[in-house]
Chain A
Amino acid sequence: MWRVSPAGDRALLITIGTVIDPALLGQVLALDRALQDKRPRGLLSTVPAYASLLCHYDASVTDAARLEESIRQLEGKVEHSIPSGTIVDIPTRYDGPDLPEVALKTNLTPAGVIEQHAGREYLVYCVGFAPGFTYCGALPAEIAVPRLASPRLRVPAGSIGIAGRQTGIYAVESPGGWNLIGRTTLRLFDPKDDPPARFKPGDRLRFIPIP
């Protein structure tokens, strides 16, 4: 059962699940596509993330109750599948400042951490927080470590971090609390590009170690 709740007086949040699961993301993306086809009156834009979809609406054209009704009509009817886009390789230099600390916390060598992180396939669950920031999962449990106790004020663009069962790429310089293990020179956000972000939820990627 979808949970539909007001997120302020101009948006509805549809919560499909509360855990990281490719099947839930598949449902979110299917709902997103269905809404783009259906175009309910007053719906302005949507924001997908993990297991939920935010729907911004024009309060001068529709209201929360009417929009919820037309979203509910799709419940149980959207075709969904586990996302399977082409896999994009991310050339990664594993020289992040937190790599030694992550190795210590996980009883691995730095090379062991890299071996766990690199090579495998990740699913993009969300682009959010800051412009282009790419949330991916699931990180192997062997290298799952908590966020830093005190976030850095500046994390350079291209930094690759890990936190819990997630790994992510900082697309622009921003503050951040993830453990930085590497970096890429691949540009993930450019306001001149259309779309401006390199990845979208449902894409797949792989980190490839480079010297």
Chain B
Amino acid sequence: MIELVAGGRWTTIQDRGRPGLERYGIPPGGAADWFAARVANELVGNQPDAALVECTSIGPTLRFDNEAIVAVTGGQVASIADWGAFRVARGSSLAVGAIAPGLRAYVAIRGGIDVRVVLGSRSFCQRGGFGGGFGRPLATGDRLPIGQLVAHEPVLAPWPPSHRLPLRGPWEVRVIAGPQAAAFASDALERLTATACRVTPEIDRMGLRLETPGLRLQSEEILTVPITTGAIQVTPSGGLIILHVDHQTTGGYPIIATVINADLPLVAQARPGDTVRFRFVHMQEATRAWRRMSGWLELDL
């Protein structure tokens, strides 16, 4: 077992989420930075669907009842050799502490966190108040069982910096035209990509609100449609919301563009005050970018 000696700012259990249940109003969820989470599991030799600890801004302090193999990836954590597996002795503690640059860090433990599976996943679903072991973010005193979802030996070498994503802004985030792009003026996408957007403090796993100084995109409300992670909503006040992994499954604001899967990890690491510039790409480039990152995960280190 692992005990949380300190809970951290917003610490949750996440895995690959529960995609496919959107028709019941359930968001896909899962690790906000899918790439960092996937690497963390890879480093400790876990199966890709093993659950890990997602830390936000300030991470928890974990005390280990037994010896464990651990890896920390994602945003940078001061005192830990990140993006590499290491051994934690029985009875010792691991203090994640402040995360910067970046916003979210992932702590994978060999075997995975073995909380109860709810609707096919161990991820905490905030909108539904279920999953994640406790139906809430983790708190001081929580005890987490370790499972046996191992796939291979731990990776001894640290993950190469050439196969990681940037951790600080200004962010260039690639988008493809949204399903309702036609609801906007013909130059709207062009104006959007020419604007330096600013991340506001209103960011969480459901979405990120962005200010768009000097840019006002006009559109009408539309008939409620299903939406996807990465969808960029234009709100009546003119600002933008990038919908993230715990997004509402349907919405009535038109989607002007959608962040490509390969760049969703950047959105997970953006902090309030950061600048985001969107770059318009075609589907082929989106697919290429995603294939390239998938290739990184096949690395034989």
Contact partner of B287 (CB less than 8 A), chosen from A9, A49, A52, A172, is: A9
B162 contacts A by Cβ under 8 Å = no
Contact partner of B259 (CB less than 8 A), chosen from A8, A50, A63, is: A8
CA distance A17 to B225 in the complex (A): 11
A116 contacts B by Cβ under 8 Å = no
Chain B residues with CB under 8 Å of A56's CB are 19-20, 22, 228
Chain A residues with CB under 8 Å of B231's CB are 7-8
Chain A residues with CB under 8 Å of B158's CB are none
Query: Does B227 contact A126, Cβ atoms closer than 8 Å?
Result: no
Contact partner of B249 (CB less than 8 A), chosen from A5, A11, A47, A51, is: A47
Chain A residues with CB under 8 Å of B119's CB are 191, 196
CA distance A166 to B274 in the complex (A): 39
Chain B residues with CB under 8 Å of A51's CB are 223
Chain A residues with CB under 8 Å of B23's CB are 45-48, 127, 200
CA distance A148 to B58 in the complex (A): 36
Contact partner of B283 (CB less than 8 A), chosen from A17, A64, A135, A197, is: A64
Query: Does B24 contact A197, Cβ atoms closer than 8 Å?
Result: yes
Q: How many residues of A contact B (CB 8 A)?
A: 49
Chain A residues with CB under 8 Å of B130's CB are 191
A44 contacts B by Cβ under 8 Å = yes
B26 contacts A by Cβ under 8 Å = yes
Interface string of B125-139 (1 = CB under 8 A from A): 101111100000000
Chain A residues with CB under 8 Å of B258's CB are 6-9
| Chain B residue, CB-CB nearest to A188 | B25
Residues of chain A from 1 to 41 with CB closer than 8 A to chain B in the complex? 5-11, 13, 15, 17-20
Chain B residues with CB under 8 Å of A174's CB are 127
Chain A residues with CB under 8 Å of B19's CB are 44-45, 56
Chain B residues with CB under 8 Å of A63's CB are 283, 287
A181 contacts B by Cβ under 8 Å = no
CA distance A193 to B265 in the complex (A): 32
Query: Does A52 contact B261, Cβ atoms closer than 8 Å?
Result: no
| Chain B residue, CB-CB nearest to A20 | B223
A128 contacts B by Cβ under 8 Å = yes
CA distance A53 to B173 in the complex (A): 27
CB distance from A103 to the nearest CB of B (A): 25
Q: How many residues of B contact A (CB 8 A)?
A: 45
- Which of A5, A19, A20, A46 has most B Cβ within 10 Å? A5
Contact partner of B179 (CB less than 8 A), chosen from A15, A17, A130, A171, is: A15
Interface string of A89-115 (1 = CB under 8 A from B): 000000000000000000000000000
| Chain B residue, CB-CB nearest to A63 | B287
B250 contacts A by Cβ under 8 Å = yes
| Chain A residue, CB-CB nearest to B20 | A45
Contact partner of A171 (CB less than 8 A), chosen from B25, B251, B260, is: B25
Query: Does B290 contact A59, Cβ atoms closer than 8 Å?
Result: yes
Chain B residues with CB under 8 Å of A207's CB are none
Query: Does B125 contact A8, Cβ atoms closer than 8 Å?
Result: no
CA distance A54 to B229 in the complex (A): 12
Chain B residues with CB under 8 Å of A173's CB are 129
Binding site for A on B (CB under 8 A): 19-26, 118-119, 125, 127-131, 176-179, 181, 222-231, 248-251, 255, 258-261, 283, 286-287, 290, 294
Contacts A10-B261, A54-B228, A132-B25 aside, 20 further interface pairs with beta carbons under 8 A come to: A5-B177, A5-B178, A7-B179, A8-B258, A13-B179, A19-B223, A47-B249, A49-B250, A52-B226, A56-B19, A63-B283, A128-B22, A128-B248, A129-B248, A129-B250, A130-B25, A131-B127, A132-B24, A191-B128, A200-B23
**11 cross-chain CB contacts under 8 A:** A5-B181, A10-B261, A18-B223, A49-B250, A129-B248, A129-B251, A130-B25, A172-B128, A191-B130, A196-B21, A196-B24
